[in-house]
């Protein structure tokens, strides 16, 4: 069970996967959010591509849920 949690948290999402999970927002919107520093934290790979850790993305979404006590 612990292994499954580590595997899930270590999962790296592509920008396309993040866009799809957010209901198909545009790539431009995502990069605008990055400019405004409101996008989930990204990892830049040596080839220049971005990835978002699954656990960081899930926490980012949870922080934006309306009606949730802080």
Give residues with Cβ within 8 angstroms of 18, minimum separation 6: 30, 40, 52, 57
pTM of the predicted model, to two decimals?
A: 0.79
What's residue 24's pLDDT? 92
Q: What are phi and psi of 53, to 5 degrees?
A: -65, 140
What's residue 1's pLDDT? 47
- Is pLDDT of 66 > 70? yes
DSSP state, 12?
E
Q: How confident is the model at residue 10 (pLDDT cuts 50, 70, 90)?
A: confident
- Is pLDDT of 59 > 60? yes
Average pLDDT for the chain: 89
Q: Give the C-alpha distances (Å, rounded to integers) separating 8 from 20, 29, 35.
A: 18, 26, 27
Name which residue leads in pLDDT, 3 or 68.
68
């Amino acid at each position: 069970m612990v292994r499954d949690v580590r595997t899930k948290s270590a999962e790296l999402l592509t920008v396309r996967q993040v866009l799809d999970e957010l209901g198909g927002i545009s790539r431009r919107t995502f990069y605008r959010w990055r400019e405004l520093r409101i996008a989930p934290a990204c990892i830049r790979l040596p080839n220049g591509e971005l990835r978002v850790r699954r656990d960081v993305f899930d926490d980012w979404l949870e922080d934006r849920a309306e009606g949730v006590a802080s």
